[in-house]
Amino acid sequence: MRILFVCLGNICRSPTAEGVFRHRLAEAGLAETVAVDSCGTGSWHIGKSPDSRAQAAARQRGVDLSQLRARQLEAADFDRFDYLLAMDDDNLASLEAMRPADCSAHVGLLLDFAGEPGRPVPDPYYGGEQGFDEVFDLVERAADGLIEHLRERLGRGQ
Ligand code: 4NP
């Protein structure tokens, strides 16, 4: 099972989702079963580390984002991943515009898995540090729901 988290720049929200979710998968004993990655719909930050504010917010909560590097969404991602999860409606629209007609992957919003369908993870880039804590909180809630969903799909119960 392969999951791709998608935002605009791949330096704030989707790397946070990748880091949190990888951490949770390891705790859940699913690290070998579910692979995670992240990307941005834009090209501005390709090759860059996550924003220092995103790294700090994650580090405070025990998640290390320092090894991640930004990349851009590409057409092959629709074949490679089972779930492509957008942070907001703009990211989702970019995904839908690029999605091949025969793509069978799940393409939707991340917070659909937090029981909050339609709610975006707000872009924290131009705001203050508290926005990065909010991103972390929202992503954590979605991680719980997504792991539960994957367990059901994988037939592992719980
Ligand atoms: P992200 O945040 O999409 O969560 O990585 C942003 C990062 C950079 C920009 C916008 C959003 N930017 O305009 O450069």
| Domain interval for residue 135 | 2-154
7 is catalytic: yes
Report the CATH number that the domain containing residue 44 is assigned in CATH: 3.40.50.2300
Residue 72's pLDDT band (cuts 50, 70, 90): very high
Residue 56 CA from chain centroid, whole number: 18
Q: Is the CB of 24 under 6 A from ligand 1?
A: no
Number of domains in the chain: 1
Q: Residue 157 contacts by C-beta under 8 Å, 6 or more apart in sequence?
A: 151
Q: Among this protein's residues, is 13 annotated catalytic?
A: yes
Q: Is 73 in the pocket of ligand 1 (CB under 6 A)?
A: no
- Of the residues 37, 88, 112, 123, only one is catalytic, namely 123
Per-residue pLDDT at 143:
96
Q: What is the pTM of this model?
A: 0.97
What are 26-63's pLDDT values in tens digits? 999 999 999 999 999 999 999 999 999 999 999 999 99
Ligand 1 center from residue 10 Cα (angstroms): 7
Cβ of 50 closer than 6 Å to ligand 1, yes or no, is no
Q: Find out whether the beta carbon of 74 lies less than 6 Å from any atom of ligand 1.
A: no
Q: Give tens-digit pLDDT for 105-150.
A: 999 999 999 999 999 999 999 999 999 999 999 999 999 999 999 9
Q: How many CB atoms lie within 10 A of CB 36?
A: 22
Q: What was the pLDDT predicted at 156?
A: 58
| pLDDT band at residue 86 under the 50/70/90 scheme | very high
